[in-house]
Amino acid sequence: MIVADHLSKHFKRFRRDPGLRGSLRTLLTRDHELIRAVDDVSFEVPAGAKVAYIGANGAGKSTTIKLLTGIMRPTTGLARVAGFDPHTQRTTVARRIGVVFGQRSQLWWDLPVLDSFRILRHLYEVPPEVYHRNMALFRDRLDLDALGATPVRQLSLGQRMRAEIAACLLHDPAVVFLDEPTIGLDLMLKQAVRDLINHVNAELGTTVMLTSHDIGDITGICDQALVVDRGIVVHQGTMRELLHSVDTRAVIFEYVPGTASEAEVVGRIEAGLPEATATPTEAGRIRVVYPVRRWSARQVISFLLDTFELTDVLIPDADLETVLRRIYGSDPAQAAPVGGAR
């Protein structure tokens, strides 16, 4: 449904030295640097998938979405959405996609929300039954009625985002591109948005491509992950594969206070479980991190039970935050791709 084939977008940024003299020199020399915002990126997203496009600030996520939605033209390479070229066949693609840029409004700033919907209905030639079904859904899930008569410029951020998300889904698009769709939303509203996206995906098979710095959005919506680092895709596969790409796991435990000092506990673990590390966290808690190729959770827990007087044991899920921290902090040339990176 979405194809990026050796897609690149390079920007020239003129180097500018500070001060007047610097500005003059910039004008004269036109000295520039090349920014590889998207650098030879290839991937395919099948119809109906919910893929997270994950990466640190400046990794090239928004630029990729602009290439895929036809807002920008690639420097080299090819984009395809629902079989069409988003840049040269922009109108055809526009009818099949919905886009939300959390950072920027897509609505008519001076018009009341409901008028925006009426315009979109005509622009996209939304059949009456689809229009009414979706408006009922948005009323129910996003409390859209409360916003209807207010001009977009007077809406709060959360109110505007509700309107943006509804607007992007109004014409039953085959693909939605959501670039930070829950930015600035409160907890309840974030959940309502996640539920709505999952609902349209389940009901209509809508393909979802999402970027977010909120891990809850990623784990609450997506089943596939593409991780981009400085313009390059470094991981591609299912969310599960991404989570399991870490080769260490953790067990956290508490023990009866006073039965051993923290230093003793750490020493005994590191002697009894070679290659594991033990770190005291908050009061009376120890975090044991072990390599999965050497130890199983069961072995680690039996060792702890045999060695200490435990009062509590916790096995945290392989957490996305740890995985992402490692990926963001790594050199892209060293990072091994997961799954089917092409």
Ligand X SMILES: Nc1ncnc2c1ncn2[C@@H]1O[C@H](COP(=O)(O)OP(=O)(O)OP(=O)(O)O)[C@@H](O)[C@H]1O
Residues that bind ligand X (CB under 6 A): 11, 13, 35, 37, 55, 57-63
Question: Alpha carbon 220 to chain centroid distance?
Answer: 11
Residue 173 binds which of Mg ion, ligand X, none (CB < 5-8 A, kind-dependent) = none
CB atoms within 10 A of CB 108: 15
Which CB sits closer to Mg ion, 61 or 190? Answer: 61
Q: Which does 171 bind (CB under 5 to 8 A by kind): Mg ion, ligand X, none?
A: none
CB of 6 to ligand X, least distance (A): 17
C-beta of 45 vs 54, nearer to ligand X: 54
Instruction: Pick one of Mg ion, ligand X, none as the site partner of residue 3 (Cβ within 5 to 8 A by kind).
Output: none
Q: What is the DSSP letter of 283?
A: T
Nearest approach, Cβ of residue 188 and ligand X (Å): 24
The answer to whether 152 and 90 have CB atoms below 8 angstroms apart is no
What amino acid is encoded at 44 in this protein? E
What sections of the chain are H helices per DSSP?
A: 19-29, 61-68, 90-96, 113-123, 128-142, 157-169, 187-204, 215-221, 239-243, 262-272, 297-307, 320-328
Residue 172: CB minimum distance to Mg ion, A: 26
Point out which residues bind Mg ion (CB under 5 A).
61-62
Q: Which residues are registered as beta bridge partners of 236? A: 226
Which CB, 79 or 278, lies closer to ligand X? 79
Strand-by-strand arrangement of the 76-81 sheet: 32-45, 2-14, 76-81
Q: Which is nearer to ligand X, 35 or 114 (CB)?
A: 35
Name the binder of 60 from ligand X, Mg ion, none, CB < 5-8 A by kind.
ligand X
Nearer Cβ to ligand X, position 57 or 334?
57
